[in-house]
Amino acid sequence: MTDKTLTRADLSEAVFQEVGLSRNESAQLVESVLNEMSDALVRGEQVKISSFGTFSVRSKTARMGRNPKTGEEVPISPRRVLTFRPSNMMKDRVAAGNKG
Amino acid sequence: MIRSELIQKIAEDNPHLYQRDVERIVSTIFEEIIDAMARGDRVELRGFGAFSVKHRPGRTGRNPRTGEPVEVEEKHVPFFKTGKMLRDRLNETD
């Protein structure tokens, strides 16, 4: 394990190395991909990327919660949450790469 | 939306790029994220979310049919946490 954190900059660099566009344009394309995915999810669509995984939006109903510090009851409004289900390929590669 | 529709969208917005280059760009991004997690790294995409690896320790499970105990080995699993901006956008009331 190397315990690093990658960011947009690392993805842009990979695109730059792979495709031979300018660094600037590579960065913009990474942004476009994330934006298109976000927009689809906000529209309530599922985003299914084969051999990567599936992002789905789930609606949760309103419920009563509790402030753990004060014990006070507070209403939790209905909300939409995003869940990610990794593909088997991703699960296998992550499991194999981090073994031992 | 599926992978091919995502590629289609990006290609439409970038008419100066070859379709096969758009395919390579999209694949590179997803490959890079998987490679990072396979090394045990995190991928943090502000506003969108963060991919990380969680460790699940070994445990004694049970075969639900027979009730027989089985050893489940420790493993590492991919995990995604939604970014604040995307979470907020999902709950915007307009």
pLDDT single digits (tens) B23-47: 999 999 999 999 999 999 999 999 9
Q: Find tokens 């460790």 and name the residue.
A: B55
Q: Along chain A (100 residues), what's the average pLDDT of each consecutive run of 10 residues? A: 86 94 96 97 96 95 91 90 97 93
Task: Indicate the SS3 state at residue B50.
Answer: strand
Res A55: pLDDT: 98
B53-63 pLDDT, tens digit per residue, is 999 999 999 99
CA distance B53 to chain A (A): 8
For the segment B3-30, the average pLDDT, to the nearest whole number, is 95
Sequence spans of domains, chain B: 1-39, 42-94
Mutate to test the interface with A, among B20, B31, B41 (most CBs of A within 10 A): B41
Q: A47-62 burial string, b = 16+ CB within 10 Å, else e?
A: bbbeebbebebeeeee
Res A1: pLDDT: 53
Chain A, 33-62: which have a CB under 8 Å from a chain B CB?
33-34, 36-38, 40-42, 45-53, 55, 57
How many H helices and E strands in chain B? 3, 5
Mutate to test the interface with A, among B32, B42, B92, B94 (most CBs of A within 10 A): B32
Res A32: pLDDT: 96
8 Å CB contact between B41 and A6: yes
- Which amino acid, one-letter code, is at A18? E
Res A27: pLDDT: 97
Contact state of A93 with B34 under an 8 Å Cβ cutoff: yes
Res A2: pLDDT: 59
CA distance B81 to chain A (A): 8
Query: Given pLDDT bands bounded at 50, 70 and 90, which one contains residue B20?
Result: very high
Residues sharing a CB contact under 8 Å with residue A53, sequence separation 6 or more, in sequence order: A84, A85, A86, A87, A90, B78, B80
Helix (H) / strand (E) element for B93: namely none
Structure tokens belonging to residue B90: 């999902």
Sign of CA dihedral A64, B86, A8, B51: positive
Is residue B94 pLDDT above 70, yes or no?
no
Res B46: pLDDT: 94
Q: Which CATH architecture has domain B42-94?
A: Irregular (4.10)
Q: Using alpha carbons, select from A68, A15, A100, A75 the residue that is nearest to residue B17.
A: A15
Beta bridge partners of B55: B76
